[in-house]
Amino acid sequence: MIKITFPDGSVREYESGVTPLQIAESISSRLAQDILCASVLESKVESRKTAAEPLKAEWRIVELNQPITEDAAIKLHKWDDEEAKHAFWHTSSHLMAEALQELYPGIQFGIGPAIESGFYYDVMPPEGVVIKDTDFPAIEAKMMELRAKKEHLEKRMVSKADALKAFGDKGQSYKCELISELEDGHISTYTQGAFTDLCKGPHLLSTEPIKAVKVLSCSAAYWRGDEKRPMMTRIYGISFPKKAMLDEYLALLEEAKKRDHRKIGKELELFMFSDMVGKGLPIWLPKGTALRLRLEDFLKKIQKRYGYQQVITPHIGSKQLYMTSGHWDHYGKDSFQPITTPEEGEVYMLKPMNCPHHCAIYKNSPKSYKDLPFRCAEFGTVYRYEQSGELHGLTRVRSFTQDDAHIFCRQDQVKQEFIRVMEIINIIFKALNFENYEAQISLRDPNNHEKYVGSDEIWEHAENAIREACKEMNLPAREETGEAAFYGPKLDFMVKDALGRRWQLGTIQVDYNLPERFELEYTGEDNQKHRPVMIHRAPFGSMERFVAVLIEHTAGKFPLWLTPDQAVILPISEKSNEYAWKVKEMLEAQDVRVIVDDRNEKLGRKIRDNELKRIPYMLIVGEKEAEQGLVSVRQQGAEEKGSMTIQEFADFVNNTVKEQMNAY
Least distance (Å) from Zn ion to the CB of residue 376?
11
Distance CA 48, CA 469 (A): 36
Q: Which of 4, 96, 199, 405 binds Zn ion (CB under 5 A)?
A: 199
Least distance (Å) from Zn ion to the CB of residue 541?
12
Would you say 325 or 632 has its CB closer to Zn ion?
Answer: 325
Given the residues 192, 402, 413, 566, select the one marked as catalytic: 402
The neighbour count for residue 242, using CB atoms within 10 Å, is 12
Q: CA angle, 606 as apex, 601 and 611 as ends, to 5°?
A: 165
Given the residues 155, 160, 211, 384, select the one marked as catalytic: 384
Contact yes or no for 20/35 (Cβ under 8 A): yes
**Terminal Cα distance for the chain, rounded:** 59
The neighbour count for residue 296, using CB atoms within 10 Å, is 15
Q: How many residues does the chain have?
A: 664
How much of the chain is helix, strand and coil, in % rounded to 5?
A: 35, 25, 35
Mark the segment that binds Zn ion (CB under 5 A) among 55-63, 76-84, 284-292, 531-539.
531-539
Would you say 107 or 355 has its CB closer to Zn ion?
Answer: 355
Would you say 380 or 564 has its CB closer to Zn ion?
Answer: 380
Least distance (Å) from Zn ion to the CB of residue 95?
10
Q: How far is CA 140 from CA 84, 98, 137, 181, 248, in A?
A: 22, 11, 5, 33, 18
Q: Which of 401, 405, 289, 284 is nearest to 351 (CA)?
A: 401
Instruction: Write out the DSSP string of 463-519.
Output: HHHHHHHHHHTT--EEEEET-SBTTB-EEEEEEE-TTS-EEEEEEEEEESSHHHHTT
Would you say 207 or 395 has its CB closer to Zn ion?
Answer: 207
Mark the segment that binds Zn ion (CB under 5 A) among 312-320, 349-357, 388-396, 515-523.
349-357
Distance CA 135, CA 278 (A): 35
Would you say 153 or 216 has its CB closer to Zn ion?
Answer: 153
Least distance (Å) from Zn ion to the CB of residue 389?
26
Q: For the range 341-347, what are the long-range contacts, defined as Cβ-Cβ under 8 Å and sequence gap of 24 or more?
A: 346/318, 347/318, 347/319
**Is 582 assigned a catalytic role?**
no
Distance CA 464, CA 491 (A): 12
Given the residues 142, 490, 530, 614, select the one marked as catalytic: 490
Would you say 355 or 407 has its CB closer to Zn ion?
Answer: 355
**Is 384 assigned a catalytic role?**
yes
Least distance (Å) from Zn ion to the CB of residue 382?
10
Given the residues 90, 327, 536, 553, select the one marked as catalytic: 536
Least distance (Å) from Zn ion to the CB of residue 153?
8
- Bridge partners, residue 482, by sequence: none
Does position 355 interact with Zn ion (CB under 5 A)? The reply is yes
Distance CA 483, CA 26 (A): 36
Would you say 250 or 361 has its CB closer to Zn ion?
Answer: 361
**Is 536 assigned a catalytic role?**
yes
Least distance (Å) from Zn ion to the CB of residue 365?
20
Mark the segment that binds Zn ion (CB under 5 A) among 51-59, 222-230, 295-303, 348-356.
348-356
Least distance (Å) from Zn ion to the CB of residue 538?
8
Would you say 199 or 596 has its CB closer to Zn ion?
Answer: 199
Q: Is the peptide bond before 67 cis (omega within 30 degrees of 0)?
A: no
Q: CA angle, 461 as apex, 459 and 462 as ends, to 5°?
A: 65
Given the residues 37, 199, 218, 355, select the one marked as catalytic: 355
Mark the segment that binds Zn ion (CB under 5 A) among 198-206, 217-225, 632-640, 644-652.
198-206
Mark the segment that binds Zn ion (CB under 5 A) among 8-16, 535-543, 549-557, 637-645.
535-543
Residues 574-613 that bind Zn ion (CB under 5 A): none
Least distance (Å) from Zn ion to the CB of residue 91?
7
Would you say 199 or 615 has its CB closer to Zn ion?
Answer: 199
Residue 118 is classified by DSSP as E
Would you say 355 or 568 has its CB closer to Zn ion?
Answer: 355
Mark the segment that binds Zn ion (CB under 5 A) among 19-27, 307-315, 450-458, 529-537.
529-537
Mark the segment that binds Zn ion (CB under 5 A) among 169-177, 352-360, 371-379, 562-570.
352-360
Element containing residue 293 per DSSP (H, E): helix 286-305
Mark the segment that binds Zn ion (CB under 5 A) among 194-202, 226-234, 272-280, 596-604.
194-202
Does position 302 interact with Zn ion (CB under 5 A)? The reply is no
Does position 62 interact with Zn ion (CB under 5 A)? The reply is no
User: SS3 for 340?
Assistant: strand
Element containing residue 72 per DSSP (H, E): strand 72-77
Would you say 287 or 537 has its CB closer to Zn ion?
Answer: 537
**Is 406 assigned a catalytic role?**
yes
For 319, residues 6+ apart whose C-beta sits below 8 A from its C-beta are: 328, 338, 347, 348, 349
Q: What backbone phi and psi angles, to 5 degrees, belong to 6?
A: -100, 165
The neighbour count for residue 146, using CB atoms within 10 Å, is 22
Q: Which of 560, 579, 578, 581 is nearest to 653 (CA)?
A: 560
Distance CA 11, CA 3 (A): 6
Distance CA 569, CA 576 (A): 10
List, in sequence order, the alpha helices (H) in 128-272: 136-147, 160-169, 173-180, 243-258, 261-267
Least distance (Å) from Zn ion to the CB of residue 108?
17
Least distance (Å) from Zn ion to the CB of residue 354?
6
**Is 404 assigned a catalytic role?**
yes
Given the residues 406, 530, 531, 606, select the one marked as catalytic: 406
Q: Which of 536, 545, 553, 606 binds Zn ion (CB under 5 A)?
A: 536
Given the residues 135, 197, 403, 404, select the one marked as catalytic: 404
Element containing residue 189 per DSSP (H, E): strand 187-192
Residues taking part in catalysis? 355, 384, 402, 404, 406, 490, 536
For Zn ion, the binding residues (CB under 5 A) are 199, 355, 536
